[in-house]
Chains A and B, each alone.
Chain A
Amino acid sequence: MHELAITVIGPDRTGIVADVAEALAGVGANLTDSTMTRLRGHFTMTLICTGPAVDEASAALSSLGDVVTSVRSVAPEFDKSDGGDPYVVSVHGADRLGIVSAVTRVVAAAGGNITDLSTRLTGALYVLIAEVDLPAGVSDELAEQLAVAAAELGVEVTLRRAESEIL
């Protein structure tokens, strides 16, 4: 059983998810985790599947036409829960080079593991929202370091505990 990591990127159109899924189903690929979104109008899909060999999956996806695909074999991994505390980092401000790199470097230096990230540029406004698992006891210091980085970048930053209710 192969585990494959696949990306599909291209112009968005109606039916493209169905086409990707159908092509993969046709070679016996079982989609496990996947995510799809549009980034500045581009269709982007990232997924993990099990079943076929790399060549079979690649051949199946080649029928999709005007998209860029990549298929590679990966070793199975499991979601690690290292007991970190979930936080959310919000950044917004005037767009400029290096916001994501500066902010995420500060988070990494504090031992924070980013588990989800999205960024949006709308007009002159740049927005970054990151979900971060933090080691216990570092949030106050990280908040101060983020404030310093944000001041240098001329953007606003907040770090707050993520809320999750399990019902």
Chain B
Amino acid sequence: MTAPVAWDGPQGNVLPVVTAPATVLSTVGDEVDPADPAVVQLAADLVATMRVSPGCVGLAATQVGVGAQIFAVDVTGHPKAATTHGTFVLCNAKIIEASRWKAGREGCMSVPDLTGDVKRAGRIVVSAALPGSGEPVEITTDAFEARALQHEIDHCAGKLFLDRVAGAHAIYQRKVYL
């Protein structure tokens, strides 16, 4: 069932990114119809917004104010990445396997002033649908791309990394604004 997942859709518009404590960030996103033209447009907008945001490796619909289970990811070239699938957008993604748990520091465009240590699986299998075709895909990945996917899937469930930080001394004031 593995298919090429790279984004190959229309040009999107750059949308404003909302920051916590916006309530949409804590709202469970609705499942989407991946073939819906509005969903394809949202996918394009997420890719466009991600690309113009320095350091951004993933962006979920809740972060542009839309409570929907769709997100864009691109960790290409990131020093912590191993397996990469380029730029891609997933709808209704679910983690079906997770292993190799490891703590790591992460930030979020919607929590711009803080970072936190979060334990994530270093290897995952995700099932989802591609926007446009609606084709079901299973993505197996690891390392930083796995972390990014888990972070974005959390957004779709109304969760932030703040809900998973390891302890009272595991949040940090961000010094460099990317």
Contacts and interface: CB of A to CB of B under 8 A. Distances in A.
* A in complex with B: yes
A116 B167 contact: yes
A162 interface: yes
Nearest to B20: A125
A129 B19 contact: no
A156 B163 contact: yes
Of the candidates A88, A127, A158, the one having the most CB atoms from chain B within 10 angstroms of its own CB is A127
B15 interface: no
Contacts of B167: 88, 116, 129, 131, 162
Contacts of B159: 158
Interface in B6-54: 19-21, 26
A164 to B, nearest CB: 9
Interface stretch (B58-66, B69-77, B82-90, B168-176): B168-176
Contacts of A126: 21
Contacts of A131: 167-168
Contacts, number: 65
A90 B163 contact: yes
B162 interface: yes
A52 to B, nearest CB: 30
A123 B160 CA distance: 17
A122 B114 CA distance: 8
A116 B162 contact: no
A118 B21 contact: no
B166 interface: yes
Interface string B145-178: 0000000000000011011111111110100000
B111 interface: yes
B162 A127 contact: yes
A124 B165 contact: no
A129 B165 CA distance: 8
A41 to B, nearest CB: 10
Contacts of B173: 120, 122
A124 B111 CA distance: 11
Nearest to A93: B21
B21 A129 contact: no
A100 interface: no
17 contacts: A88-B165, A88-B167, A93-B20, A116-B169, A117-B168, A118-B168, A120-B171, A120-B173, A124-B21, A126-B21, A127-B162, A129-B167, A131-B167, A155-B21, A156-B160, A163-B119, A163-B166
